[in-house]
A = this chain, B = another copy of it.
């Protein structure tokens, strides 16, 4: 699929199915391998200090992990849910939220897909980083579960 079409389809999917993503202004910046990026403006997501609200950062990171897995699996008859996550806030985010989901290690992704196809259910850990310039402000680890419908 054309990269821009995939990006737009993924964004529409998030907005239609998870409406708070629209209220947060979440956009899909890129679905490309190694550069999977979700963004959200500070205006809708600031806190009492004028920096990004921790809950919004966690929600955008959760969406980034979810969306990457949805796109990489490319399995229409599949539900993905989050089982657990942990997030650390190192520095305030002072401008647009830019959440990059790291590509899963192929050594983990291949057995994950095998298990999903064989047992209809598999889990995978993903990492999302939110940076400003060269500085990592937030790191998120989430365990996602994919289930055949």
A contacts, CB < 8 Å to B: 13, 17-20, 23-24, 44-49, 53-56, 58-63, 79, 81-89, 92
Contact = CB atoms under 8 A, between A and B. Distances in A.
Nearest to A43: B19
Nearest to A84: B88
Given A24-B20, A44-B23, A46-B18, A54 B82 contact: yes
A99 to B, nearest CB: 11
Contacts of A20: 23-24, 44-45, 53, 55-56
Q: Tell me the number of copies of this protein.
A: 2
Contacts of A49: 79, 81
A59 B55 CA distance: 4
14 contacts: A17-B47, A18-B55, A19-B46, A20-B44, A20-B45, A20-B53, A23-B44, A55-B59, A55-B60, A55-B61, A58-B62, A81-B89, A81-B92, A84-B88
A87 B18 CA distance: 19
